[in-house]
């Protein structure tokens, strides 16, 4: 295989991914548009307030272009989107893109920290459980895991607040410190929210990784590694972990969507100015351009993360590199 | 031309390995006593399922967790009691002084690790070589085992190599630390017939060149012939005949060995000569018959064979080299 052919394959591969992204975004935004319009009431009532007459409402609608057909509205939204214009919030007049960009980093940081925490819990636990599968330690960790898994995130959030800020007084219960105020202060405001997500999330990762590790540990090359006289930790980390990580990574990618839902709750509880809160506020106010903008960014993020997971496979397993090249 | 009698490099004494099975347990290895002198090549032959792989795993400390070793079993290697060592002490021997080549090279190499790293890993762990020195040594090892374009192969993944090449890589890994004993468990069974002889000759050559002892395990008498000094025939977990390879082939005393030899196809035979298969089935290890395990399939079996288990003894002729576990051993052919 020549390098140019390889490059050519990569380009078609990326092109295909981009096309898929486009289709997903189109479908998701269209459905969201429809759903927001199916909700009773619209933003005109919010703007007009309680004293507004029917004429006032009509005037506001006309001014905002809400009197046009849904299809026309969607078409003009798409038209502006092509030029990078997501419109302005009906309520505050703030450009949607700007509103999102100011809140996105908060949610991203929350998701990244919570995933890292979840991994930090799941990796050692899965390694221990798989190495000693069926032992007391394995059962203890698994049972404890299921117990935490059955706790809803908002209860978990309250529990962590109670323990770490009320009882131990280690961390602030709510509030957000921007990164400019110092890395440590900023991280501190994320520890509890991220922990209340991670404490539920890690169990899923641990279970998936554990079962894949158990399968891997029965492979002949693990026996071979033992025959080399390598100590158990080395066999687990260097020989078993990498070929066992696939399902866990897939689950992590798929979880991103669910985590955005969790983030709404957690951001509200901990008063973090993130995407989740922005979206929920916008939905209540029927601020539908803001809703559209949020959904657009979230769906792009979701597809991107899952495509990244696909590419990670090829990094993890050299055999897939060849299959992908031959297959596409 | 065998070296003068001294303490053997490997001394297995009354080794038994029991594995839990659906009903009760299976004695995969049943009271095996065998020794290997330094530099000597010993063959271990038997049908599949006779316990020869379990024996190899017991030597390497690779038995599954649920396996149980008999209380009177002993394995002495280089004067050290392996079964009494802690896992950590054991690992300083496994892979370094005692190495193993597995049956299936397609699955024995880690699919997501480059070949070079799989070789240098052993060198770095046991000999403390740094990355560069280990890579140099790995390159030399690949050359030694006859891998073409060794420098490029270092950066290949196992799936990019053929079965024969992979087995050569596995042999390079086994030879990396200059072991005193190499256990080769059916090293060619999974390979194409065309590359089998190449691998076997490579093993024999390395064994001679490095004055390394070798335990060559196979279900095929032909593999062992000419490459080993002594051969043990295993059946249902026990060694039933043990003799210098030449004597075993020339004048087998065990009916089972005789039957195995007769079952081998010969080029000298006229075409369409039917093969002499051994009648009956290999024994069900969960329900071994009383007495000699081979008796149900043995043409010469008599009453006593089905009642008492024969011990492994040297024959009446006083030939200490040739030992057989049979009540009615065959007398000269």
Q: How far is A141 from chain B (nearest CA, A)?
A: 21
> Average pLDDT of A315-320?
81
Q: How far is B287 from chain A (nearest CA, A)?
A: 27
| Closest residue of chain A to B173, computed from CA coordinates | A228
Domain map (residue ranges) of chain A: 2-82, 104-327
**Contact with chain B for residue A59, Cβ under 8 A:** no
Q: Going by C-beta distance under 8 Å and a sequence separation of 6 or more, which residues neighbour residue A210?
A: A125, A126, A129, A130, A133, A142
Confidence at A327, pLDDT banded by 50, 70, 90:
very low
> Average pLDDT of B120-146?
95
The pLDDT, as a whole number, for residue B200 is 93
Q: Which of A146-160, A163-177, B85-99, B200-214 has the least mean pLDDT?
A: A163-177
Confidence at A235, pLDDT banded by 50, 70, 90:
very high
Report the percentage of chain A scoring pLDDT > 90: 29
Question: pLDDT digit string (tens) for A75-112?
Answer: 888 888 888 888 888 888 889 999 999 999 999 999 99
Reply yes or no on whether the pLDDT at B1 is more than 50. no
Contacts of A238 in chain B (CB under 8 A): 113, 121
> Average pLDDT of A111-140?
93
**Contact with chain A for residue B96, Cβ under 8 A:** yes
Of A224, A229, A316, the CB nearest to B91: A229
Looking at every residue in chain B, the average pLDDT score rounds to 90
Q: How far is B232 from chain A (nearest CA, A)?
A: 23
Looking at every residue in chain A, the average pLDDT score rounds to 86
Please give the backbone phi and psi of residue B270, each rounded to the nearest 5 degrees, phi first. -65, 155
The pLDDT, as a whole number, for residue B316 is 62
The pLDDT, as a whole number, for residue B77 is 96
Interface test with B, best of A227, A231, A323 (most B CBs within 10 A): A227
pTM: 0.83
Higher pLDDT, B106 or B182: B182
Interface test with A, best of B108, B141, B160 (most A CBs within 10 A): B108
**Contact with chain A for residue B108, Cβ under 8 A:** yes
Label residue A152 left, alpha or beta by phi (over 0 means left) and psi (-120 to 50 means alpha). Answer: beta
Burial class (CB in 10 A: 0-12, 13-18, 19+), B271: exposed
Confidence at B237, pLDDT banded by 50, 70, 90:
very high
Reply yes or no on whether the pLDDT at A65 is more than 60. yes
Say whether A223 and B92 touch across the interface (CB within 8 A): no
Looking at this predicted complex, what is its ipTM? 0.89
Smallest CA-to-CA distance from B224 within B239, B209, B240, B244 is with: B244
Strand partners, B68: B18
Question: pLDDT digit string (tens) for B241-293?
Answer: 999 999 999 889 999 999 888 888 877 788 887 878 888 888 888 888 888 99
**Contact with chain A for residue B62, Cβ under 8 A:** yes
Strand partners, A150: none
Confidence at A217, pLDDT banded by 50, 70, 90:
very high
Say whether B159 and A231 touch across the interface (CB within 8 A): no
Reply yes or no on whether the pLDDT at B85 is more than 70. yes
**Contact with chain B for residue A134, Cβ under 8 A:** no
Say whether A220 and B157 touch across the interface (CB within 8 A): no
For the sheet with B323-324, list strands across it.
B98-101, B181-185, B213-218, B41-45, B230-235, B238-244, B323-324, B313-314
> Average pLDDT of A36-40?
80
Residues 206-265 of A with CB under 8 A from B: 219-221, 223-231, 234, 238-239, 242-243
Q: How far is B178 from chain A (nearest CA, A)?
A: 12
Q: How far is B110 from chain A (nearest CA, A)?
A: 5
**Contact with chain B for residue A95, Cβ under 8 A:** no
What is the distance between the alpha carbons of residues B168 and B144, in angstroms, rounded to a whole number? 10
Say whether B109 and A224 touch across the interface (CB within 8 A): yes
Q: CATH assignment of A104-327?
A: 1.10.3720.10
Say whether A319 and B104 touch across the interface (CB within 8 A): no
> Average pLDDT of B117-126?
96
Contacts of A229 in chain B (CB under 8 A): 91-96, 122, 125-126
Say whether B112 and A317 touch across the interface (CB within 8 A): yes
Q: Which residues of B178-201 are buried (b: 16+ CB within 10 A; e: fewer)?
A: ebbbbbbbbbbebbeeebbeebbe
The pLDDT, as a whole number, for residue A4 is 66
What is the distance between the alpha carbons of residues A80 and A23, in angstroms, rounded to a whole number? 18
Of B96, B157, B170, the CB nearest to A229: B96
Please give the backbone phi and psi of residue B36, each rounded to the nearest 5 degrees, phi first. -125, 125
Interface test with A, best of B112, B116, B118 (most A CBs within 10 A): B112
Q: Which of A35-44, B11-20, B125-134 has the least mean pLDDT?
A: A35-44
Reply yes or no on whether the pLDDT at B2 is more than 60. no
Confidence at B5, pLDDT banded by 50, 70, 90:
low
Cβ-Cβ pairs closer than 8 A, A with B, add up to 73
**Contact with chain A for residue B102, Cβ under 8 A:** yes
Say whether A224 and B110 touch across the interface (CB within 8 A): yes
Smallest CA-to-CA distance from A245 within A313, A199, A305, A318 is with: A313
The pLDDT, as a whole number, for residue A322 is 55
Confidence at A260, pLDDT banded by 50, 70, 90:
confident
Reply yes or no on whether the pLDDT at A186 is more than 70. yes
Contacts of B173 in chain A (CB under 8 A): 224, 228
The pLDDT, as a whole number, for residue A328 is 35
Q: How far is A66 from chain B (nearest CA, A)?
A: 57
Report the percentage of chain B scoring pLDDT > 90: 66
The pLDDT, as a whole number, for residue B332 is 60
Q: How far is A217 from chain B (nearest CA, A)?
A: 12
Smallest CA-to-CA distance from A218 within A240, A238, A233 is with: A240
What is the distance between the alpha carbons of residues B253 and B329, in angstroms, rounded to a whole number? 5
Question: pLDDT digit string (tens) for B96-105?
Answer: 999 999 998 8
Reply yes or no on whether the pLDDT at A308 is more than 90. no
> Average pLDDT of A196-206?
91
Say whether B108 and A318 touch across the interface (CB within 8 A): no
Q: How far is A253 from chain B (nearest CA, A)?
A: 22
Contacts of B104 in chain A (CB under 8 A): 220
């Amino acid at each position: 295989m020549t390098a140019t052919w390889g490059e050519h394959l990569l380009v078609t591969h990326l092109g295909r991914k981009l096309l898929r992204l486009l289709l997903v975004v189109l479908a998701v935004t269209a459905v969201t548009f429809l759903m927001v319009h199916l909700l009773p009431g619209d933003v005109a009532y919010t703007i007009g307030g309680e004293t507004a007459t029917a004429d006032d409402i009509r005037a506001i609608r006309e001014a905002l272009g809400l009197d046009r057909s849904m299809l026309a509205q969607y078409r003009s939204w798409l038209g502006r989107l092509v030029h990078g214009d997501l419109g302005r919030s009906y309520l505050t007049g703030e450009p949607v893109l700007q509103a999102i960009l100011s809140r996105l980093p908060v949610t991203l940081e929350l998701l990244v920290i919570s995933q890292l925490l979840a991994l930090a819990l799941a990796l050692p636990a899965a390694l221990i459980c798989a190495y000693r599968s069926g032992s007391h330690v394995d059962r203890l960790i698994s049972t404890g895991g299921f117990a935490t898994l059955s706790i809803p995130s908002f209860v978990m959030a309250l529990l962590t607040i109670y323990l770490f800020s009320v009882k131990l007084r280690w961390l602030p219960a709510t509030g957000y410190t921007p990164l400019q105020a110092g890395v440590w202060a900023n991280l501190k405001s994320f520890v509890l929210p991220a922990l209340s997500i991670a404490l539920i999330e890690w169990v899923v990762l641990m279970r998936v990784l554990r079962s894949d590790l158990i399968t891997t540990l029965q492979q002949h090359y693990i026996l071979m590694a033992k025959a080399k006289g390598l100590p158990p930790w080395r066999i687990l980390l260097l020989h078993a972990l990498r070929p066992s990580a696939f399902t866990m990574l897939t689950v992590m990618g798929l979880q991103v969507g669910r985590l955005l839902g969790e983030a709404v709750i957690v951001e509200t509880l901990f008063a973090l100015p993130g995407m989740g809160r922005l979206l929920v506020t916008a939905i209540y106010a029927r601020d539908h351009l803001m809703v559209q903008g949020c959904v657009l960014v979230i769906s792009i993020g979701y597809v991107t993360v899952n495509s990244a997971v696909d590419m990670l496979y090829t990094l993890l397993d050299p055999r897939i590199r060849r299959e992908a090249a031959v297959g596409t | 031309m065998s070296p003068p009698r001294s303490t053997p490099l490997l001394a297995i004494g009354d080794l038994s390995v029991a594995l839990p099975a659906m009903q009760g347990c299976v004695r995969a290895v049943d009271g095996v006593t065998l020794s290997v002198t330094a530099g000597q090549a010993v063959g271990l032959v038997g049908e599949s399922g006779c316990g020869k792989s379990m024996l190899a795993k017991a030597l390497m400390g690779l038995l599954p967790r649920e396996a149980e070793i008999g209380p009177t079993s002993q394995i002495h290697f280089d004067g050290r009691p392996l079964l009494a060592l802690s896992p950590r002490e054991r690992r300083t021997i496994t892979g370094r002084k005692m190495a193993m080549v597995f049956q299936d090279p397609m699955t024995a190499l880690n699919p997501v690790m480059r070949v070079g790293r799989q070789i240098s890993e052993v060198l770095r762990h046991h000999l403390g070589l740094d990355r560069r020195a280990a890579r140099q040594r790995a390159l030399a090892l690949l050359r030694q085992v006859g891998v073409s374009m060794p420098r490029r192969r270092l950066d290949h993944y196992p799936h990019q190599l053929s079965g024969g090449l992979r087995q050569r890589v596995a042999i390079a890994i086994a030879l990396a630390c200059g072991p005193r004993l190499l256990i080769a468990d059916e090293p060619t069974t999974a390979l194409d017939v065309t590359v089998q002889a190449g691998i076997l000759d490579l093993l024999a050559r390395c064994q001679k060149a490095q004055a390394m002892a070798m335990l060559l395990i196979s279900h095929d008498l032909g593999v062992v012939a000419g490459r080993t000094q002594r051969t043990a025939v295993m059946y249902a977990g026990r060694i039933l005949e043990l003799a210098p390879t030449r004597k075993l082939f020339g004048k087998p005393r065990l009916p089972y060995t005789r039957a195995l030899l007769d079952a081998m196809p010969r080029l000298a035979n006229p075409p369409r000569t039917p093969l002499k298969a051994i009648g009956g089935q290999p024994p069900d290890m969960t329900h071994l018959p009383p007495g000699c395990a081979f008796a149900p399939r043995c043409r010469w079996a008599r009453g006593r064979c089905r009642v008492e288990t024969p011990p492994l003894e040297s024959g009446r002729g006083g030939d200490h080299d040739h030992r057989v576990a049979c009540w009615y051993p065959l007398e000269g052919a």
